Amino acid sequence: MSITINAAGTRFKLDTRHTSYAFGVGPSGYLNHYYYGAKLPDVPETFDALDRDFLGLSFSPYRQLKHIEDSRNIALQECATHAAGDYRISSVIVCDSLGCNSTDPQFVSAKVFPGRPAIEGLPHARVNDDPTVETLEVTLRDPATGVEYLLDYTVFPEQDCIVRSMLIRNASAGRVVIERAMSFCLDLNNMDYDLVQVHGSYGRERFGFSRTPLHTGLQTIFSSRNSSGHDHNPAFALMEKGATEDHGGVLGGMLVYSANFSIEIEGDPFFRTRIVGGIGNDFSWTLESGETFRTPEAILTWSSDGLGGMSRNFHDMLRDHLIRPRWAHQERPILVNNWEGTYMNFNREKLLAIADSAAECGVEMFVLDDGWFGHRDDDHSSLGDWFVYEKKVGSLKTLAEEINRKGLVFGLWFEPEMISEDSELYKAHPDWVFTAPGRERTYGRHQLVLNMGIPAVVDYLFDTISAVLRSAPIAYMKWDFNRQPAEISNPLLPPERQKEAAHRFMLGTYELHRRLLEEFPDLLIEGCSGGGGRFDAGILFYTPQIWTSDNTDAIDRLFIQSCTSLFYPCSAQGAHVSVCPNHGTARTTPLETRGLVALAGTFGYELDMTKMTAEEKETVRQQCAMYHQYHHLVLNGDQYRLADPWDGRCCQWEFAAKDGSEAIVIDVLFRQIIHPGTRFVRLRGLNPDAMYREIGTGRVFSGAFLMNAGITLKPDGRDYIAQLLHFKAV
């Protein structure tokens, strides 16, 4: 049992393997938060000891004279509104039929059930027949309106994660308008944390992270790009002061959502912390009597093993309970993608020649990227026209079959949400474009965005894309999304409901994913967004892998892949070997190094393989063999970031089997210094008492030795060199 309720039904405790979360009903009927952190054995009532004293002269309002200490502005809460004088940020605001937004949800009841509530239309954590997963559903009701608020806490004990979301049910007779509906609200009783957030831009998505002490006032991580975006990511960590990669308490959170989001962290005047996160601002949603609205989910975790522990919790959670089970623990085919090899300048012969060279080297899938449809030879035309450009590639069916005969499966690029002005689709449906009526439109990469909030658009895309997928043996789809919408409206909605348009756009995209996967359950989809501009748990629900960045430079990738791994597993990060000098950075790195960096992701090549020398092809053959030898550790193991590239010299990633029987370390030295001293690698996650053989040298060490003394790395005078170390229990 991971959920415990006291006999009175008013105190709740959620336990995972290593964490506890406790809250209860306060004297005025509100939900007060008590604790989230390392696991405690105590019963739920014990947490009453953490009830706050009245914090003094703040003139904070209170509801009942007899419960002065239950002032909303003082209490730590699970669902925060400003109704009764809580002047901090709110997690929910619902305007009643009189236009009053004094939302005031109070406790009604709670129940526990196995599994989790059904979620329709939104990506969500999956139970996957795990009998340990349980949900606590707490019902609150606003006595003035009758509107109900169901707070769901689904506990995933093995992964140390709690998934939260809220369902709002309009049980009143009139219409209400949701002005804010955050996925979670979490109040902590102190402010002694550093906020960690990842940041970047196109070509350097999640290139770095900041760690800044919390302060009083508001700090926000957000996107208003109608996509989670290249710049920020819907995820955060709060690290206890002094916590490191390996030690100390870290609270992590991420949203299972891919559009506008806001994660707001407020330090209050009493030096406590409130965190709310969910759909971004500039949102509202009308609920007629009887209707419901479900927020996206948020996944929360706590680890006492530093930032690395938090990452591993998220990796396990996403692999075991979010990514499609068909692919989550399944090795993906090694691919060659023609994009950096040819861009849109290709013909059938060229594609087949690349496939020939790829087949020679052990590559298993050929992906035809942008430029195969409509009359597309450059980025000015044809988006939306999902029919084959036969003059350029001939029959898609026979092309795919010919590639199959070479021993490769076939994959194809699409950009479903986009439309070019120069397209048949635009001629037929200019009204399907996202616009701000009466205003000049914007372009991005010469293209416009389809309004996915219009059901007919989703129908059209499903019909045309599924027709292509049916027409040829297509095992993989790359789903690109190159520009972010700027004009947001929905012609099907009245003026007062226009703030639903952005969320409806996202729901339309999710619906298209759902319908395509319903028809093609084995299809492997790779998410992509002008590189890695939509890398989030919402998209990962549908696409088991996401292209991490258009920047394929092996050295920049150390930063991008390390930082992405703070929240997302390497087995979901698209990583390819490309040509040198690199098209983005002009840097030249050894093919071996490029291979080892890509081996820490979903492995593949993105270059014109016909131009490779015999020696290079031999290296590719070896790399493909290495992928099959080691990838199970990336796919199912624990990742340890042993050395951070931000320290300026090298990067080391370890992937260890969960039972400690085997581990690899990928070490990349990217900056030599003169008289450098000794470089070590010290492993983690091994069994201290087991003995391990180093594959290659045959040396034998105890796990304790490898984790404490470590081993010395051979000096090498060159920049950008990489090595892979492999240890197996004997």
State the residues that interact with ligand DGJ by CB under 6 A: 339, 369-370, 413, 480, 482, 528, 530-531, 547, 550
Q: CA 107 to CA 99: how far, in whole Å?
A: 23
Q: CA torsion, points 690, 694, 695, 696, in degrees to nearest 10?
A: -160
Cα distance between residue 437 and residue 435, in whole Å: 6
> Is 480 tagged catalytic?
yes
Residue 335 β-bridge partners: 365, 604
Nearest-angstrom CA–CA distance, 635 and 655: 9
Nearer residue to ligand DGJ within complex by CB, 90 or 482: 482
Between 214 and 597, whose beta carbon lies closer to ligand DGJ? Answer: 597
- The closest of 173, 172, 163, 118 to 141, measured between CA atoms, is 172
- Encoded amino acid at 221, one letter: I
| R_g of the chain, CA atoms, integer Å | 26
Compute φ and ψ for 470, nearest 5 degrees. Answer: -80, -25
Residue 630: phi, psi to the nearest 5? -110, -15
Min separation Cβ 527 and ligand DGJ, Å: 10
- Which residue lies nearer to ligand DGJ by CB, 383 or 599? 383
**427: helix, coil or strand?**
helix
Give the DSSP letter string of 618-642: HHHHHHHHHHHHHHHHHHHSEEEEE
Could you list the beta-strand ranges (E) of 96-227: 106-114, 134-141, 148-156, 161-169, 176-188, 193-199, 208-213, 217-223
Please identify which of the residues 160, 305, 480, 638 carries the catalytic annotation: 480
SS3 assignment, position 591:
helix
What does the alpha-carbon distance between residue 585 and residue 671 come to, in Å, rounded to a whole number?
16
| Closest CB to ligand DGJ: residue number | 370
Which residues neighbour 377 within 8 Å (Cβ) at sequence distance 6 or greater?
A: 344, 345, 371, 392
Extended strands (E) in 351-481: 365-368, 409-414, 418-419, 448-449, 476-479
Minimal distance in Å, beta carbon 354 to ligand DGJ? 15
**What are the tokens at 160?**
């140390």
Count Cβ atoms within 10 A of the Cβ of residue 34 and give its class: 0-12 exposed, 13-18 middle, 19 or more buried. buried
Give me the least distance between CB of 343 and ligand DGJ, in Å please.
8
Q: Least distance from C-beta 543 to ligand DGJ, angstroms?
A: 13
Q: Which helix (H) or strand (E) holds 653?
A: strand 650-656
Closer CB to ligand DGJ, 192 or 379, in the complex = 379
Q: Please tell me the distance from the alpha carbon of residue 277 to that of residue 287, in angstroms, as a whole number.
A: 21
- Distance, in Å, from the CA atom of 12 to the CA atom of 109, rounded to the nearest integer, reads 12
Shortest spacing between CB 528 and ligand DGJ, in angstroms = 5
Catalytic entry in 268, 550, 553, 608? 550
Q: 142 or 550, CB closer to ligand DGJ?
A: 550
Looking at beta carbons only, is 250 or 367 nearer to ligand DGJ? 367
Give the nearer residue to ligand DGJ in terms of CB position, either 297 or 370: 370
Shortest Å, Cβ 549 to ligand DGJ: 8
Q: Looking up tokens 């394929």, which residue turns up?
A: 552
Contacts of 434 (CB under 8 A, 6+ apart): 448, 449, 450, 451, 485, 487, 488, 489, 505
Question: To the nearest whole angstrom, how small is the minimum distance from the Cβ of residue 337 to ligand DGJ?
Answer: 7
Nearest to 31 by CA among 61, 75, 68, 65: 75
Q: Shortest distance, CB of residue 525 to ligand DGJ, whole angstroms? A: 13
Cβ-based nearer residue to ligand DGJ, 157 or 527: 527
Q: Residue 533 Cβ, how far from ligand DGJ at the closest point, in Å?
A: 8
User: Least distance from C-beta 532 to ligand DGJ, angstroms?
Assistant: 8
422 given a catalytic annotation: no
Identify which of residues 44 and 531 has a Cβ nearer to ligand DGJ in the complex: 531
596 close to 654: Cβ distance less than 8 angstroms: no
Q: Are strands 638-643 and 650-656 parallel, antiparallel or unpaired?
A: antiparallel
Find, among 415, 417, 444, 427, the residue nearest to 502 by Cα: 417
CB of 433 to ligand DGJ, least distance (A): 19
CB 154 within 8 A of CB 133: yes
As to burial, measured by CB atoms within 10 angstroms (0-12 exposed, 13-18 middle, 19+ buried), residue 130 is middle
Q: In degrees rounded to 5, what are phi and psi of residue 86? A: -95, 110
Closer residue to ligand DGJ, CB minimum distance, 543 or 619: 543
Strands, E, within 6-147: which ranges?
11-15, 19-25, 31-38, 92-95, 106-114, 134-141
Nearer residue to ligand DGJ within complex by CB, 39 or 583: 583
Give the number of other CB atoms < 10 A from CB of residue 210.
10
| Smaller CB separation from ligand DGJ, 547 or 720 | 547
Least CB distance to ligand DGJ at residue 317 (A): 27
Residues labelled as active-site residues: 480, 550
